[in-house]
Amino acid sequence: MKILVALADGFEEIEAMNVIDILRRAGIEVVTAGLKEGLVEGAHGVRVLPDTTLDRIDQQDLDGLVLPGGAPGFINLGKDERILRMAREMNQANKYVAAICAAPSVLIKAGVLQGRRATVHPSGEAEVKSCAQFSSDRVVVDGNIITSRAPGTAMEFALKLVEVFLGKRKMEQIKAEVLAISKED
């Protein structure tokens, strides 16, 4: 399994790094790609050197796409036609398309949330309600679309991705290894 985490300037560090770390712990191949060459700076000043750039990605090799939120990261993702096209094409191919915090707005712009069940950061609720069935759940899975609410839900989001990709047993193993606690515990 190979998952792309797209990084744009202004990405939310907790959301991106948590997903990358947890998925890699689970044995999933994670590729990080910047929208441009070089370092990408997060919303809180953390600089990351992605594995590659979006232009070098062959999406045929991917099983899923993860979009972290963060401001202005989600805005920068939503302005990039390559991201919008990739989200549309991956959704049409029934591959996984996941977004956290404000990034579900990018999925709206790409046209993949229409009629779906989804969640988003509270600041984006009205936008999601305009085209999708909004849920206040911390993580929402609707087929191949997975959404989550905010930096505080990043661990649950990452663990849910592991569960969806590799099954509950693997998710429970990773959860135990990192001593993660959820509302259900």
Closest listed residue to residue 22, CA positions, set 149, 147, 172, 129: 172
Annotated catalytic residue, options 23, 28, 75, 101? 101
d(CA 175, CA 185): 11
- 39 Ramachandran zone, left/alpha/beta (phi>0; psi -120 to 50): beta
d(CA 166, CA 71): 30
Closest listed residue to residue 113, CA positions, set 160, 34, 124, 63: 124
Closest listed residue to residue 31, CA positions, set 44, 41, 19, 43: 19
* The two structure tokens encoding residue 74: 């989600």
Catalytic status, residue 131: no
CA 33 to chain centre: 13
| Active centre residues (catalytic) | 101
